[in-house]
Amino acid sequence: MGYAVSLSLAMAALWLVLSGHYDSTLLLSIGAGASVFSVFLAWRLHILDEETSPYHKVWRLFLYWPWLWWEVIKTNITIVRTILSPDMVLTPRMVRVKELPRTDMARIIFANSITLTPGTVSVDLDDDEIIVHAVLKEMTNKNDFAAMGARCAKAWGEKGSLS
C-alpha cells in the first residue's frame, strides 16, 4: 500500500510540475486520474514494489549527501595539491572492490559516489565487484571503499553487512 501511495504522489507531482496547469480543476483531475490509473496498472502487472517505487527511501539520501560532499572536498584538495606540486607524481592504480552493498540501487549509488569523487572512476560494475581507477595510490585504500559502501547501503536502507 505504501508503494502505491508514494508512487501516486510522485507521479502526480511530476505531472503537475511538467504540465504547469495549477488552476484548472478539469486538468488537475485528469492528472490525478492518470497517476492513479498508472499505479493500478503497475499493481495489476505485479511490478509495484520497492524497485518501482523507491520514493519512501529518498529521505535517507539527504543524510548521505553531506558526508559525500565532504569527501569530495577533501579529495579535491588532495588532487589540487598533487597537481600544483613541482614534481607532480601520479601513481595510477586499478583496484577491485569486493565489498558491495546488496541491492542494485545501493550498488549504483556506491559506483556513482566513487565516480563523483575526484581522482577515481568506477570502470566496471559486476555482481560481485566494482573495478575502480584511481590516479593516486593513496586513493585505493580498501577500508575507505568499504566505509563508503557501508554508508551507501545504510543510505538505501539495507540492514546487515555488505556482501
Per-range mean pLDDT, top range of 20-29, 43-52, 115-124: 115-124
Q: How far apart are CA 10 and CA 88, in angstroms?
A: 48
Domain range annotation of the chain: 2-44, 59-155
The pLDDT, as a whole number, for residue 116 is 95
Angle in degrees, 0-180, between the axes of helices 142-155 and 58-84, rounded to the nearest 10: 150
Question: pLDDT tens digits, residue range 86-120?
Answer: 998 999 999 999 989 988 888 999 999 999 999 99
**Mean pLDDT of all residues in the chain?**
88
Q: How many residues does the chain have?
A: 163
Q: Which of the four pLDDT bands, split at 50, 70 and 90, describes residue 8?
A: confident
Question: pLDDT tens digits, residue range 38-51?
Answer: 989 988 988 887 76
